[in-house]
Amino acid sequence: MTSLSTSTPAGGPLQTAARSVPIVRPWPEWALCLALAALWFGCTAWLRPLAIPDEGRYVGVAWEMLRSGDWLVPTLDGLPFFHKPPLFYWITAGSMAVFGPGVVAARAAAWLASTGMLTGLFVFTRRWGSARQAWLTVAVLATAPLFYGAAQYANMDILVAACITAAILFFAHALLARSQGLAHRTTLAAAFAAAALGVLAKGLIGAVLPLLVLAAWGLATRRLGRVLALLIWAPGCLLFAVIAAPWFIAVQHRFPGFGHYFFIVQHVDRYASGGFNNPQPWWFYPIALLLLTLPWSPWLAAGLHRRDRDASDRMPADLRTLMGVWVGVIVVFFSVPSSKPVGYILPALAPLAFLIADAAQRAGVGAAARTLGSMRGATWSADKRFAATMLFAAAACVSLTVAAHFLQPKSRAALAEQLRVLKRPGEAVFFLANYYYDVSFYARLDEPVAVVDPWLPAEVAKDSWRRELSDAAQLAPNPSARRRLLLPTELAPALCRARTSWLLGPSSVSSAAPAWLAGLMPVAQSGETALWRVDTAASDVRAALHCDAGPAF
């Protein structure tokens, strides 16, 4: 086995020359970790319907991309939807094209991201630490309830978290390898590529967060100059631009208002203002991170009483610093704005899992293996506690996923399946007083729907489906596309122009629908939502709608 000379003063910068660190070639273990992760994260991905609004929204956009064949412009109800870049939609639409539009295919991006993130963390920790540290770390991450849930949740949060994690780990590997005089440019290029994919996954945070974490690491280890020298590496910057820039340039050329909407409204305004979803106090993320990683987070306290490292502990002290800084930067960055969706904190999970596993080792986990099978009671007690924690955490992950199958009050999958069976080609669909994100996907609708609502300014201003559709309509270059957003007074004339239409809306007549709908028997009903079939060939229906005399179709 080849050896390299390195020195790692506790808490200080990595120097070249001192103790010997073996090169680890972890390919067999890497393959095992990949296989286990793929199986673990995929075993329950089929259990529950799409969650509303996020999964229904983003999978619906991917479904529209697939059915329209337009892989450049994401659309929501046929209107340009620029809340997020296209990487998630590309992966999801591609998965559905290959495997069909089912919920498992719809969650392919989350499955790929979580499997890749776990495996990458394993390989990195195995290379710069030990096999024991690597397996403990991924055991913590894989069974952390927040991470397991995100791994089966079809939105951009886990995808961008995986890209951010990959960018930081690739860069850290390149810096450490360069410090030892090893080849590092391929790995450094991979770091820039991962950051570019992060930008395509969710926007500027894909590059900003790795930059902040790495700069803070450089400051903490008095190595900022070397970090910055790699961050401005010209070939890497060029590669970043080649991957990230073309989509933004193409969309800006086609939609002149795109740049302002995407970068100012969706980035600056969402970060700086308080009018968006889930406003929380500044301390929300630290508490949420500890609670949503139970039962693992108490191990951090268990490892506070640091034990002496044994000779097998060859983890560079700088990496412990990196992981601590990494968690701190992510938590602080997302604690500044008032809007705090839980998924935003996912980029902090990989380093937190590392720190929990490290603390567990300091508390005695794995000490028996380090002392050639010593039967000391304290050692076996720590190992048993860790194993029990892992089993409990795994059971909690699966149980919560199974419970979610029965707790989907907003899902309209059942009604959408009815619509899919009964609707004939060419028949129009109208949504009343709501936009049912998952219906287009489950019903396999091949055309956009018309949405009927009063569109009151006060309601449109809120961060909701009304605002999303209203913003999208403003960006639509085709005025006819904007007519999909109808006022209640426009519903009857629209129905009169077709022989058969389908209405989906509240079972109790709302302000978005006329009173005559109360006399029409729903075809199907689920909870407070009903599905109606409107046949204007019937004279009583035409009279109720006040259609003009003579056939309107």
Q: What is the mean pLDDT of residues 252-274?
A: 81
Map out the domains of the chain as residue ranges.
3-29+36-45+107-404, 413-545
Can you tell me whether residue 405 is helix, strand or coil? helix
Q: Is the pLDDT confidence value at 26 over 80?
A: no
Which of 319, 293, 300, 302 has the alpha carbon at shortest distance from 364? 302
E strand segments, 159-265: none
Take residue 253 and report the two structure tokens written for it: 């050329």
User: DSSP for 170-184?
Assistant: HHHHHHHHHHTT---
Q: How confident is the model at residue 211 (pLDDT cuts 50, 70, 90)?
A: very high
Q: How confident is the model at residue 553 (pLDDT cuts 50, 70, 90)?
A: very low
Take residue 50 and report the two structure tokens written for it: 């799409």
State residue 247's pLDDT score.
96
Strands laid side by side in the 15-16 sheet: 15-16, 3-7, 19-22
- Asked whether the beta carbons of 121 and 319 are under 8 A apart, the reply is no
Phi, psi of 21 (to 5 degrees): -120, 120
Q: Is the pLDDT confidence value at 551 over 50?
A: no
Rg (CA), the chain: 27
State residue 13's pLDDT score.
41
pLDDT tens digits for range 40-53: 999 888 888 899 88
Rounded (to 5) percent helix, strand, coil in the chain: 60, 10, 30
State residue 23's pLDDT score.
47
Q: Is the pLDDT confidence value at 394 over 80?
A: yes
Q: How confident is the model at residue 302 (pLDDT cuts 50, 70, 90)?
A: confident
Q: How confident is the model at residue 1 (pLDDT cuts 50, 70, 90)?
A: very low
* Distance between start and end Cα atoms, the chain: 80
- Asked whether the beta carbons of 524 and 415 are under 8 A apart, the reply is yes
Can you tell me whether residue 37 is helix, strand or coil? helix
State residue 450's pLDDT score.
92
pLDDT tens digits for range 494-540: 888 888 889 998 877 655 556 777 777 888 888 888 899 988 877 77
- Asked whether the beta carbons of 288 and 342 are under 8 A apart, the reply is yes
State residue 202's pLDDT score.
92
